[in-house]
Each structure stands twice: as structure tokens, then as C-alpha cells.
Amino acid sequence: MRGALMAQEDDDRRAWFRREILPLEPDLLAYARQFCRDGQTDPEDLVHEAFARAIACKTWREVGNPGAFATRILRNCALDALRRRKVLTITAVADFDRIEPLDEAPSAHAVLESREELRLLADAIAELPTQCRRVFTLRKVYSLSPDEIAVRLGLSVSTVEKHLVKGLRYCSEKLGRRIGRKIRVDEGRSWSARRDHDAKR
């Protein structure tokens, strides 16, 4: 009798998953891409992991908002993926602040560690020279282009790019020393070089 009840519960949970969670896949995939900007994590893998956690949830009957429930699990999966890395990028560290933990994972200790890393990043930015900090903040926080920053601060684009590289290097080295892990900075081509390249295409 008990086995039959458990089997029925499993069937009901799977039916709920197919009805409420599975149709959210396109939206969840689009959301997952926000946590995969540095290319180290596959958004489809995050969604599949989120689905696995959702279908295994024993309190599924208490879920009042399936969309919010699935989104929180996806954020949790993204945080777990970041915590498993041996190498973190500046982009990945910055995304920690947008990932809300669930009771399932990560542990309270892991959450505190990620918040500490964010605090260290903020401290590193605050220690940058004034002009470098302004350039870095306008680019990384307000998403201004190097051209826009150059106009606003009265600098050349090349000077703006030098400040950005300097800021990225300093922050990566600072965090690497404090948390005992390598923080990779992907400088790549300068923004103006990419712009000129794209204009010729």
C-alpha cells in the first residue's frame, strides 16, 4: 500500500513538472545566459541541472509560483557552478551579487564566502587611483562605452582603455592574493580595435 502511494506521489510530481516547469525552458535558458557571459558555463547545462532539482523537490505541492521557484533554483545552480571553478573571471565574480541562494544549496558557509569575495572586489575598486576608478566604474557599473567615457571625462579613448586594463589587473591580483585563487582577466583586443574590425565587416 505504501509503495503504491509513493509511486502515485512520484507520478503526480512528474505530471506537475511537465505541466508547470518544463514549459518554462525557453525563458530559463534566456535567463541562464546571463550567468554564462564569460563562456565557462553552458546555459543548457544550468537549465538541465535546475530541472533535475525541481523534479526531485519533495515540497512541490507547496510551490505557489512555479516561475519564481524555477528561477531561484537556476540562480542556485549558477552559484554552485561558480563555486566549483578553480579559476574565476572578474565577470563571474561580479555576477555573484545577483544569485540568491536556496535552502537546497549552497551551504551558509559558501554564501558567506561569496559575499566576502564581493566585498573584496568592492574594496579593490575603491583602492584604484581616482581617474582609474572613475573609468572602471563608468564602464563596469554604468556600462558606458569607452567613447562615452572619453567624452565625459575629457580623455582619449586609448587613455580610457589603459585605465580599464590597469583596473582589471589590479582587481584580479588583489582578489587572487586574498582568496587564494587565480582570477583571470581576459583583456583581449582593445575596444577601439574591435570597433574598427566590426566596421570593416
pLDDT computed for residue 93 by the predictor: 54
CATH class of 107-201: mainly alpha
- 98 pLDDT higher than 60: no
pLDDT tens digit sequence for 2-48: 667 677 888 888 899 999 999 999 989 988 888 777 677 888 999 99
pTM value > 0.75: no
- 162 pLDDT higher than 80: yes
Phi-psi region of 42 (alpha: psi -120 to 50; beta: other; left: phi over 0): beta
pLDDT computed for residue 158 by the predictor: 92
pLDDT computed for residue 172 by the predictor: 78
pLDDT computed for residue 168 by the predictor: 84
Tell me the average pLDDT of the chain: 75
Burial (0-12, 13-18, 19+ Cβ within 10 Å), 145: middle
pLDDT computed for residue 108 by the predictor: 47
- Mean pLDDT value across residues 107-111: 47
Distances (CA, A) of 69 to 18, 25, 75, 83, 156: 14, 13, 10, 21, 47
Distances (CA, A) of 60 to 54, 70, 94, 138: 8, 11, 32, 43
**Residue bearing the bigger pLDDT, 119 or 23:** 23
